[in-house]
């Protein structure tokens, strides 16, 4: 794709017509899967503006002492100053410049500041601003940050080496309707969450609607905060959810308790470690209270990083009757599907425009044993 997300000046522009950029991405996806038997593929478009509920900005310090937010162009060419951004949550975008102006008035806030991140609820009613520093922060920072929080009705988190200061909350609350139930989530600052709230809801409901109830069990690798785990676990006797990130796993446990899901066992370990545990090539104290032989996994869901599945994880999920593969990298997805389709067929495929105006597109492929 030869398109840039960020414009030449004045902020991050959305240079292509939305339908054109989505058409290019879907064409690239279909080209990557040429030769692989696929069913008719559903395409779910995003909102065209204000679709990102989290973002990261570098802070640029001007020679005259001023500061500005900047982002890197997707296709290279360095950073560009950003004072508004129609890609970001509308409340954050509308307040970007006012926030940076406020920070610039307080040395305790702007000195040695090198990154500003935000996390917002989909409706913008809750927001956390994270300020990251190349200097120690102390009560002077907290005092100035309280004024910032009062001014913009947000929470603020200051981070420097070995220190974290919090004004307000460390999480935002989000409610996601799935079928006839509302699911309540905590999105924790610093832990991964899906950036596009509208698309995330569509993905969860898409998978949920396709699954029939089973008297067997559900396995999820890379479960994060329990985004898919919570509602999908309703369809199964029991669930095993694996996540290596401690903050995300703690949030997942809180989310499960808040939604009365007591059939999920969460384990803090990598997907490869769990594959070794199931294969009995290695034992873990973290699993000593679990009867792994008592699980019979009917469905396995994987949502791996861009590198895709390692060999041990691929072998593990291949044992399930159904595999749900959520991916943001069509190259590694194609590589893994070439292996998985040796013993199973693709029964459902869908594309979700999680990242509008960027080259990436999220996909969800469901495979069943032949």
Question: Which structure tokens are listed for 88?
Answer: 């970001």
Q: What is the pLDDT of residue 73?
A: 55
Give me the CATH topology for the region 54-170: OB fold (Dihydrolipoamide Acetyltransferase, E2P) (2.40.50)
- Mean pLDDT value across the chain: 92
Predicted confidence (pLDDT) at residue 9 exceeds the cutoff of 60: no
Q: Is the Cα torsion angle 174, 355, 99, 143 positive or negative in sign?
A: positive
Q: What is the pLDDT of residue 370?
A: 83
Q: What is the pLDDT of residue 70?
A: 83
Predicted confidence (pLDDT) at residue 364 exceeds the cutoff of 50: yes
12 catalytic per annotation: no
Whole-angstrom CA distances from 284 to 29, 103, 273, 294, 313 are: 39, 47, 9, 17, 17
- Spot the catalytic one: 3, 169, 328, 368: 328
Find where tokens 């309703």 sit: 234
pTM of the model: 0.92
14-18, 123-127, 202-206, 249-253: segment of lowest average pLDDT: 14-18
How is domain 18-47+196-369 classified at the architecture level of CATH?
Answer: 3-Layer(aba) Sandwich (3.40)
17 catalytic per annotation: no
Indicate if 54-170 has the same CATH topology as 18-47+196-369: no
| Percentage, residues of the chain above pLDDT 70 | 94
In this predicted model, what pLDDT tens digit does every residue of 45-59 receive, in sequence order? 999 999 999 999 999
Q: Is the Cα torsion angle 292, 297, 303, 305 positive or negative in sign?
A: positive
Q: What is the pLDDT of residue 228?
A: 98
Closest C-alpha among 285, 289, 231, 288 to residue 263? 231
Predicted confidence (pLDDT) at residue 10 exceeds the cutoff of 90: no
Provide CB contacts within 8 A for 355, sequence distance 6+. 195, 196, 328, 361, 362
Q: What is the pLDDT of residue 82?
A: 77
- Spot the catalytic one: 174, 220, 272, 362: 362
Instruction: Give 359's pLDDT tier (boundaries 50, 70, 90).
Output: confident
Domain ranges of the chain: 18-47+196-369, 54-170
Question: Which structure tokens are listed for 220?
Answer: 């999820």
Q: What is the pLDDT of residue 11?
A: 46
Q: What is the pLDDT of residue 4?
A: 42
Q: What is the pLDDT of residue 44?
A: 98
Predicted confidence (pLDDT) at residue 216 exceeds the cutoff of 50: yes
Q: What is the pLDDT of residue 78?
A: 58
13-17, 108-112, 298-302, 349-353: segment of lowest average pLDDT: 13-17
In this predicted model, what pLDDT tens digit does every residue of 315-325 receive, in sequence order? 999 999 999 99
7-11, 63-67, 188-192: segment of lowest average pLDDT: 7-11
In this predicted model, what pLDDT tens digit does every residue of 152-201 receive, in sequence order? 999 999 999 999 999 999 999 999 999 999 999 999 998 889 999 999 99
């Amino acid at each position: 794709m030869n398109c840039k997300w960020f414009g030449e000046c004045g902020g991050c522009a959305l240079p292509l017509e939305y339908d054109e950029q989505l058409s290019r991405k879907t064409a690239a996806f279909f080209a990557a899967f040429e030769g692989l038997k696929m069913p008719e593929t559903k395409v779910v478009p995003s909102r065209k503006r204000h679709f990102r509920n989290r973002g990261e900005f570098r802070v640029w310090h001007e020679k005259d002492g001023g500061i500005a937010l900047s982002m890197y162009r997707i296709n290279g060419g360095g950073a560009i100053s950003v004072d508004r951004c129609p890609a970001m949550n509308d409340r954050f975008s509308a307040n970007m410049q006012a926030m940076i102006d406020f920070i610039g008035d307080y040395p305790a806030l702007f000195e040695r500041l090198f990154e500003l991140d935000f996390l917002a609820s989909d409706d913008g009613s809750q927001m956390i601003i994270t300020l990251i520093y190349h200097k120690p922060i102390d009560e002077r920072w907290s005092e100035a940050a309280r004024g910032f929080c009062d001014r913009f009705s947000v929470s603020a988190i200051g981070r420097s080496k070995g220190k974290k200061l919090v004004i307000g909350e460390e999480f935002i609350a989000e409610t996601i309707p799935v079928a006839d139930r509302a699911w309540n989530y905590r999105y924790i600052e610093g832990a991964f969450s899906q950036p596009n709230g509208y698309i995330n809801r569509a993905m969860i409901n898409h998978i949920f609607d396709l699954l029939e109830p089973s008297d067997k069990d559900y396995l999820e690798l890379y479960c994060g905060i329990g985004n898919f785990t919570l509602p999908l676990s309703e369809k199964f006797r029991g669930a095993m959810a694996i996540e290596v990130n401690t903050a995300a796993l703690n949030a997942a446990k809180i989310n499960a308790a808040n939604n009365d899901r007591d059939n999920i066992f969460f384990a803090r370990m990598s997907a490869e470690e769990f594959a070794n545990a199931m294969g009995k090539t290695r034992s873990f104290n973290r699993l000593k209270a679990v009867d792994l032989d008592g699980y019979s996994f009917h469905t396995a869901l994987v949502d791996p990083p861009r590198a895709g599945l390692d060999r041990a994880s691929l072998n593990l999920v291949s044992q399930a009757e159904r595999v749900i593969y959520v991916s943001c990298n069509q190259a590694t997805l194609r590589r893994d599907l070439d292996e998985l389709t040796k013993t199973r067929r693709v029964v459902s495929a869908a594309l979700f425009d999680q990242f509008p105006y960027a080259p990436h597109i999220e996909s969800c492929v469901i495979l069943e044993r032949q």
